[in-house]
Amino acid sequence: MENNLSIAEIKARIGAEIFTEAEWEAWQADSRKGVQQLIQRRKRLLEKRQAKLEAFEARLTYERQLHQAGYSLIAGVDEVGRGPIAGPVVAAAVILPMDLSAKEWIEINDSKTLSFAQREQYAQFIQSEALAYQIVEVSNKQIDQLNILNATKLAMQQALAELTPKPDYALIDAVTVPNLTIPQQAIIKGDQRSLSIAAASIIAKVHRDHWMMQLAERYPEFQFEQNMGYGTAAHIEALHHYGVTPYHRQSFAPVPSIQKRYTENKHNYTN
């Protein structure tokens, strides 16, 4: 097939993906260096797409095996906020539809791999498309009473209990939740290995981030909208300078020592 198109025209055709198989074969035989660069770029793009698709299919392995075993309402469960020194721990449980289009769901992945804007966008999509979802907060005071692991399990347990329709199986990120009436499976790095858990991780993260951003309006000195309650250097410095808020975790260092210091000096926040 004769190549009458310029390199710019071929680039536009490849970019828009409007070419025939015969044209593609002809371009591969084209001796022009610019055309061959376009061919190699296209091949790399296809390889990336294939790898992304295979990763998406892998994230559905657990769900598909459970569907084949007869389970139809599979809940993915994850939490966010175990590490911060301020704010709640938040758990989410999500039941996704059984038939998920790769085109629509391929970008749903562990929330930690996504940008703030992506999480915001995907959280809205998940919540609109899910068969059911629930988000539960367990406060910093409950964390201090129960310890962070038990507080996490409580949040997950409540999120599952409040789902409607009720799930018949739970896939949970790393944790085994007590007192469930349905079978469960704890998956290490579940937010990377299960699409349902990844979806839960996204909506939990977005919910907690919004919670911390609202708290930042009340306590602007701590810049919670930036650190989300994690113990950054600037956050610790603010604690030493301004004292401890009612939303800091008394069971997390260095909060107790700073609390003691400011209690003695009567410089604590009172509301």
Q: Where residue 156 sits, what CATH number does that domain have?
A: 3.30.420.10
Co-location of 47 and 108 in the same domain: no
Q: Residue 189 domain-assigned?
A: yes
Distance from C-alpha of 93 to C-alpha of 203, rounded to nearest angstrom: 9
Domain extent for 33: 7-59
Output the CA torsion sign for 4, 5, 6, 11.
negative
Q: Is the pLDDT of residue 33 over 60?
A: yes
Q: Residue 221 domain-assigned?
A: no
What is the DSSP code string of 196-239?
Answer: HHHHHHHHHHHHHHHHHHHHHHH-GGG-HHHHTT---HHHHHHH
What is the DSSP code string of 49-75?
Answer: HHHHHHHHHHTTHHHHHHHHTT---EE
Give how many domains the chain has, as a whole number: 2
User: What's the chain's length in residues?
Assistant: 271
110 marked as part of a ligand binding site: no
78 marked as part of a ligand binding site: yes
pLDDT for 70-81, tens place per residue? 999 999 999 999
Q: Is the pLDDT of residue 266 over 80?
A: no
Co-location of 79 and 51 in the same domain: no
**What pLDDT band is residue 269 in, cutting at 50, 70 and 90?**
low
Co-location of 172 and 86 in the same domain: yes
pLDDT for 155-180, tens place per residue? 999 999 999 999 999 999 999 999 99
Co-location of 191 and 95 in the same domain: yes
Co-location of 150 and 82 in the same domain: yes
Report yes or no: 154 and 178 within 8 Å, Cβ to Cβ.
no
**Domain stops at, among 181, 208, 235:** 208
Q: Is the pLDDT of residue 5 over 90?
A: no
